[in-house]
Amino acid sequence: MAREEKPYRVYRGGRAKGKVPVANSRPGRQASTAAPKGGSKSPRPAEYRGPGARSSTRRPRWGRRIGIGVALLLVLLVVWGVASWFAFSSGVSDANKRLDPNAKLALASESGLLLSHPTTILMLGTDHAQVGGRTGDQHSDSIMLLRTDPSHHRLYYLSIPRDIQVPIPGSSTQKINAAFQLGGPALAIKTVRQFTGIDINHVIVVNFADFKDLINALGGITVDVPKPIRSNRFDCPYPTQARCDQWQGWRFHKGSQTMSGERALIYSRIRENMLDPTENDVTRGARQQTVMNAVASKFASPGVLAKMPFSGASLAKPLTTDLSSGQLVQIGWAKFRSSDAAAVHCRLGGDLGGNGTGSPSEDNPATIAMFLGKSAPQPPTDPFGPGCVIGHVLQ
């Protein structure tokens, strides 16, 4: 008779003779009674993992990694914001120092923050080009009022033709752009306030000679040209008179196009379009509005914001203003909150036929009321007339 084989118990250190433990033979401990497939091997406890050291597999802690990544991103954003603020504030501080103290005295005080109260800003564009005998020219080539309306998230623009003849305080009646030549921004503020009856809270003077460098630093601007243009032969780009006599003038095709600082400056200066004799200095003011809006939009682009810590100081180089860094940021926020489709673009008019100068239009007060939001915008009725439109610049 064959000797009966005794079952073995399995331990980590090897095998030992003895009875196989019965399932649930001891309280609190369970053993597996299921025989392995094939039936040739002894049953093993369910928790057995084989001889040797146990290997433990840890799952990656993605939550901790994501949290660290978010924290690092927040730190970078804070550092970027602080660096941008100090760079921009440095440039604005220099712009404040360039403003004549008399100009600050000519401004009307505000009743609250720009974010919550309407404010009116006089924007003057000066051109000290070193060509065409304009080296000593201090006239304001561009005169525009900007009014913010925070309660309705809307911006109002009012262009004033530079050749309108108005009384200048302390002087005679002459073209309104002569006020800057005679008394700088302080006299320009007084003249515009007397002419329009609008209190002016702030002033920004833009030097067009540096303005082109600013546009180049921004990487150019996108301008939608409404019609083809061939200008008269001003600011000839060629060195000899013979070559300039053959030159036909500056050309701009119709449609959206990216302009460098030089091209944008030429575009804003064009007063006479040889392809459309109806254009005049009023049309020129519209082009300047378009360029200014394009620059303001480019300021808020992601690419420019990313470079702010490195170029913030230079961005304020063309400006002379009383506005602080915080106030400029508030104006930027007001523009961000407003809709271009809801912006109101206005212009004043006058008898500008013939030599281009003349007295103001009798309908200017009605347009000023539209600019102040006291009446609904109405478009001009003639090429030299005043009026307002919504959503696009007057051409």
What DSSP element (H or E) covers 252?
strand 251-252
Q: Is residue 115 part of a domain?
A: yes
Average pLDDT, the chain: 80
Lowest mean pLDDT among 44-58, 151-165, 281-295, 305-319: 44-58
Q: Is residue 371 part of a domain?
A: yes
Select the highest-mean-pLDDT range: 80-94, 235-249, 309-323.
235-249
pLDDT of residue 25: 47
pLDDT at 62 over 60: yes
Average pLDDT over residues 308-323: 78
b or e along 30-44 (b: 16 or more beta carbons within 10 Å of the residue's beta carbon)? ebeeeeeeeeeeebe
Helices (H), 197-322: 208-217, 241-246, 261-269, 281-299, 302-306, 308-315
- Distance, C-alpha 206 to centroid of its chain: 17
Q: Is residue 28 part of a domain?
A: no
- What is the C-alpha end-to-end distance of the chain, expressed in Å? 119
Q: Is residue 113 part of a domain?
A: yes
pLDDT at 368 over 90: yes
pLDDT of residue 354: 54
Q: What is the pTM of this model?
A: 0.74
Paired sense of beta strands 165-167 and 229-230, if any: unpaired
Average pLDDT over residues 371-392: 90
pLDDT of residue 125: 85
pLDDT of residue 54: 56
The model's pLDDT over 118-150, given as tens digits with 9 standing for 90+, comes to 999 999 988 655 545 555 566 777 899 999 999
The model's pLDDT over 13-34, given as tens digits with 9 standing for 90+, comes to 555 555 555 555 455 444 444 5
Q: Is residue 181 part of a domain?
A: yes
SS3 of residue 166 by DSSP: strand
Contacts of 62 (CB under 8 A, 6+ apart): none
Cα gap 175→162, rounded to integer Å: 7
Residue 352 sits in which domain range? 77-221+277-390
Angle between helix 208-217 and 308-315 (nearest 10)? 170
Cα gap 191→189, rounded to integer Å: 5
Number of folded domains in the chain?
Answer: 1
Average pLDDT over residues 160-175: 91
Angle between helix 208-217 and 261-269 (nearest 10)? 140
Q: Is residue 179 part of a domain?
A: yes
Q: Is residue 346 part of a domain?
A: yes
The model's pLDDT over 74-113, given as tens digits with 9 standing for 90+, comes to 888 787 777 777 777 888 888 899 999 999 999 999 878 8
Q: Is residue 325 part of a domain?
A: yes
The share of the chain scoring above pLDDT 70, in percent, equals 76
pLDDT of residue 140: 78
pLDDT of residue 168: 95
Cβ contact 284:389 at 8 Å = no
Cβ contact 371:145 at 8 Å = yes
Q: Say which CATH number the domain at 330 has.
A: 3.40.630.190
